[in-house]
Amino acid sequence: MEQKFFNIDPRIEALAKDAEKVCAEAFARTEEIAEYNSRKVLAAFIHNGVSESHFAGSTGYGYDDRGRDTIEAVMAEICGAEDSLMRHNFVSGTHTLTTALFGVLRPGDVMLSITGMPYDTIQPVIGINGDPGCGSLKDWGVEYRQVDLLPDGTPDFDAIAEAVKDPRIKVAYVQRSRGYSLRPSINMEVMEKLVKTVKENNPKAIFMVDNCYGIFTEKVEPTQLGADMVIGSLIKNAGGGIARTGGYIAGRRDLIELCSYRLTTPAQGKEVGCTLDELKNMFLGLFLAPNTVCSAVKTAIFAAALFGGLGFAVNPPHTELRTDIIQSIELGSPEGMIAFCKGVQAGAPVDSFVTPMPSDMPGYDDPVIMAAGAFHLGASIELSADGPIREPYAVWMQGGLTYYTGKMGMMLAAQTMLDDGVLKL
Ligand SMILES: *Cc1c(COP(=O)(O)O)cnc(C)c1O
């Protein structure tokens, strides 16, 4: 006889069945993208002759590390880029982005964000909301400017075309994923238009993309559309749930070299940086990443259909084409957010017995609640939900190493909301 394993209200079971039915078309599209990207990754492994000897890793300075050079060539090929830096030495996505920004910007240069205010943890790096003297770009004499998004959350192409003309603009910065905002993410159709607008008006400006949460959700990456650099984290999409830490930067060879001087030292650059025991995890994670991202995107689509069906505002809706793994759900109250996160945590494979509570986080202005029961601390390619406790009391959920466990997590979130009286059926 089959067992149930979890106590889910029959009404939620029925709603989940309905939700899954309306997702069929979106699921098929997602799986088709995953198949394409799996072939892309497989081909890059084969072209670069990946071999077991590449998993050996190095110690000390890491001179002549063939595995490291090979994974960076593989990543470059996947992104359609000249070169890449893919290292466990990057401590987070924020650190990887910081390395990219400090790598290419110099005193007197201007960084122009063309998709509004960047992600919370990047703001103090730029010198917005940070302590003066902490070594931000601003402290080093790099000016920051921003083109706000239009009221509907889309890029303001006319204003971008005007703002980018200033020859002092060194970097035009785009954040692909919405982060903790409710604007639409920048899909590759919009990305291509942004590249065109920038290049037509200032061919010298470096087009830099915060690609966190984005890679492998569509068939092309921004670098294949003319972006000069893409940057992301290995405990998000590109690590496939296997890489234990790290980040990547892919793009133009001269820019990757500058970033490597910032990560290590001028002149030594890419030639140093030992890989310890991380290479096999990074290769395996990258190999699995298109499939893992598929599970995460399907979990997000399912969540949109389930919670949309329950009457909550969801962004994006289950029918929309995805360009990241993020799903926001407006729960309307702090209690709703807390119950949702409690349910997600209760369905985690690791630390399921923990109760998440709102608390202050470095780099964030408001208290943040986070549900994450992950194999790798803070990995948000694993099922996780979080959000700052502020209007409109939205949670951003992402991840799911497998669709089946991701789906269960979403059903437990709904169940906990029902149990806690913040969901009426
Ligand atoms: C996660 C994220 C970051 C920062 O990455 P961390 O690994 O959390 O430091 C930056 N930008 C976006 C859009 C992100 O989603």
Domain containing residue 299: CATH number: 3.90.1150.60
What's the 124 CA to ligand 1 centre distance in angstroms?
13
**Residue ranges making up the domain that contains 406:** 10-38+290-419
Query: In terms of domains, do 275 and 301 share one?
Result: no
Alpha-carbon distance of 52 to 339, in angstroms, equals: 46
141-159 residue pLDDT tens: 999 999 999 999 999 999 9
Is the separation of the CB atoms in 61 and 264 below 8 Å? no
Query: In terms of domains, do 211 and 176 share one?
Result: yes
Query: In terms of domains, do 362 and 393 share one?
Result: yes
DSSP, collapsed to helix, strand or coil, labels residue 313 as strand
The number of folded domains in the chain is 2
Asked which of 286, 315, 346 is the last residue of a domain, the reply is 286
Residue among 185, 193, 246, 240 at smallest CA distance from 214 = 185
Q: Ligand 1: which of 183, 210, 231, 234 to mutate, most ligand atoms within 8 Å of CB?
A: 210
Query: In terms of domains, do 275 and 388 share one?
Result: no
203-212 residue pLDDT tens: 999 999 999 9
- The predicted pLDDT at position 124 comes to 94
Query: In terms of domains, do 258 and 397 share one?
Result: no
- In a domain, residue 114? The reply is yes
- In a domain, residue 127? The reply is yes
Question: Checking DSSP bridges between strand 368-372 and strand 169-175, what pairing results, if any?
Answer: unpaired
- In a domain, residue 2? The reply is no
Query: In terms of domains, do 229 and 276 share one?
Result: yes
Please name the amino acid found at residue 423. L
State phi, psi for 200 to the nearest 5 degrees.
-70, -35
242-258 residue pLDDT tens: 999 999 999 999 999 99
Q: Decide whether any atom of ligand 1 lies within 6 Å of the 233 Cβ.
A: yes
Query: In terms of domains, do 255 and 325 share one?
Result: no
In terms of DSSP H, where are the helices of 247-389? Answer: 253-263, 279-309, 334-346
Q: Decide whether any atom of ligand 1 lies within 6 Å of the 92 Cβ.
A: yes
The model scores a pTM over 0.75: yes
| Averaged pLDDT score across all residues of the chain | 96
Query: In terms of domains, do 138 and 242 share one?
Result: yes
- The predicted pLDDT at position 318 comes to 98
User: Can you give the CATH number for the domain in which 149 is found?
Assistant: 3.40.640.10
Query: In terms of domains, do 25 and 153 share one?
Result: no
- The predicted pLDDT at position 181 comes to 84
Token reading at 392: 């409109």
- In a domain, residue 4? The reply is no
Query: In terms of domains, do 296 and 234 share one?
Result: no
- In a domain, residue 424? The reply is no
- The predicted pLDDT at position 363 comes to 64
Asked which of 230, 253, 286 is the last residue of a domain, the reply is 286
- In a domain, residue 106? The reply is yes
Residues of the chain with pLDDT under 50: none
- In a domain, residue 206? The reply is yes
- In a domain, residue 314? The reply is yes
Query: In terms of domains, do 165 and 255 share one?
Result: yes
- The predicted pLDDT at position 180 comes to 78
58-95 residue pLDDT tens: 999 999 999 999 999 999 999 999 999 999 999 999 99
State phi, psi for 326 to the nearest 5 degrees.
-85, 135
Asked which of 286, 314, 333 is the last residue of a domain, the reply is 286
Q: Decide whether any atom of ligand 1 lies within 6 Å of the 197 Cβ.
A: no
Query: In terms of domains, do 26 and 157 share one?
Result: no
Q: Decide whether any atom of ligand 1 lies within 6 Å of the 177 Cβ.
A: yes
Q: Angle formed by the axes of helices 279-309 and 10-22, to 10°? A: 110
What's the 4 CA to ligand 1 centre distance in angstroms?
37
State phi, psi for 7 to the nearest 5 degrees.
-90, 95
